[in-house]
Amino acid sequence: MKAVLLLEDGTVFHGRGFGAEGFKCGEAVFNTSMTGYQEILTDPSYNEQIITMTYPLIGNYGINEGDIESRGIFASGFVVREYCDYPSNFQSQQTLGKYLKDNNIIGIDSIDTRALTRHIRDKGAMRAIIASGDEQLLSIDNLKNELAKYPGLEGRDIVKDISIKTAQPFGNHSQDKEFKVAAFDFGIKTNILRMLDAAGCNVTIFPADTNAQTILDGGFDGVFLSNGPGDPEPLTYAIVTIKELLGKIPVFGICLGHQLLSLAMGGSAYKLKFGHRGGNQPVQNLKTKKVEITSQNHGFCVNLEALDKNKVELTHVNLNDNTLEGIRCKNVPAFSVQYHPESSPGPHDSAYLFDEFTNMMNDFKKV
Catalytic residues: 255, 340, 342
Beta bridge pairs of residue 31:
53
Distance CA(193)–CA(201), nearest Å, equals 9
Residue 279 in contact with residue 295, Cβ under 8 Å? Answer: yes
Residue type, 354: F
Distance CA(84)–CA(105), nearest Å, equals 17
Distance CA(113)–CA(127), nearest Å, equals 17
Strand 201-207 relative to strand 77-79, pairing: unpaired
Give the count of alpha carbons within 13 A of 301, CB side only: 18
Q: Fill in the DSSP letter of residue 35.
A: S
Strand 269-285 relative to strand 22-31, pairing: unpaired
> Distance of CA 84 to CAs 58, 95, 179, 188, 278, Å?
6, 8, 44, 29, 21
Pick from 88, 112, 94, 104: nearest CA to 5: 112
Residue type, 89: N
Pick from 31, 73, 83: nearest CA to 52: 31
Query: What is the largest distance, in Å, between two alpha-carbon atoms of the chain?
Result: 68
